[in-house]
Amino acid sequence: MSLTGKVAVVTGSGQGLGLAYAQELARQGASVVINDVNAEVANAAVATITDAGGKAIAVVAAVGSTDTAKKLVDTAVSTYGRLDIMVTNAGILRDTVLWKMSDDDFDAVITVHLRGTFTCAREAVIYMRENEIAGRIICIGSPTGQRGNFGQTNYAAAKAGIVGMVRTWALELKKAGITANAVIPVAATAMTATVPYFAAAIEADAKGETMPDFFRKTLGFGTIGDVAGLVAYLASDDAANLTGQAIGIGGDRLQIYTHPEAAATEYHESGWSSADIAAAFTGPLASSAQSVGEKFPALPDDLVRESAK
**Using 50, 70 and 90 to split pLDDT, how confident is the model at 294?**
confident
Task: Flag whether pLDDT at 136 surpasses 70.
Answer: yes
CA atoms within 13 A on the CB side of 87: 32
Instruction: Tell me what pLDDT residue 307 has.
Output: 55
- 243-281 tens-digit pLDDT: 999 999 999 999 999 999 999 999 999 999 999 999 999
Looking at per-residue pLDDT, the higher value among 145 and 306 belongs to 145
- 166-175 tens-digit pLDDT: 999 999 999 9
Which pTM was predicted?
0.95
Instruction: Tell me what pLDDT residue 191 has.
Output: 74
Task: Flag whether pLDDT at 27 surpasses 60.
Answer: yes
Catalytic residue annotation: 155
In the chain, domain spans: 7-187+223-256
Task: Flag whether pLDDT at 308 surpasses 60.
Answer: no
What average pLDDT does the structure give for the chain?
Answer: 95
Of 146, 140, 153, the C-alpha closest to 87 is 140
**Phi, psi at 141, each rounded to 5°:** -100, -155
Instruction: Tell me what pLDDT residue 305 has.
Output: 58
**C-beta separation of 187 from 224 below 8 A:** yes
Q: Give Cβ neighbours of residue 184 (< 8 Å, ≥ 6 apart).
A: 141, 142, 143, 145, 146, 246, 247, 248, 249, 255, 257
Superfamily of domain 7-187+223-256: NAD(P)-binding Rossmann-like Domain (3.40.50.720)
Q: How far apart are CA 98 and CA 102, in angstroms?
A: 9
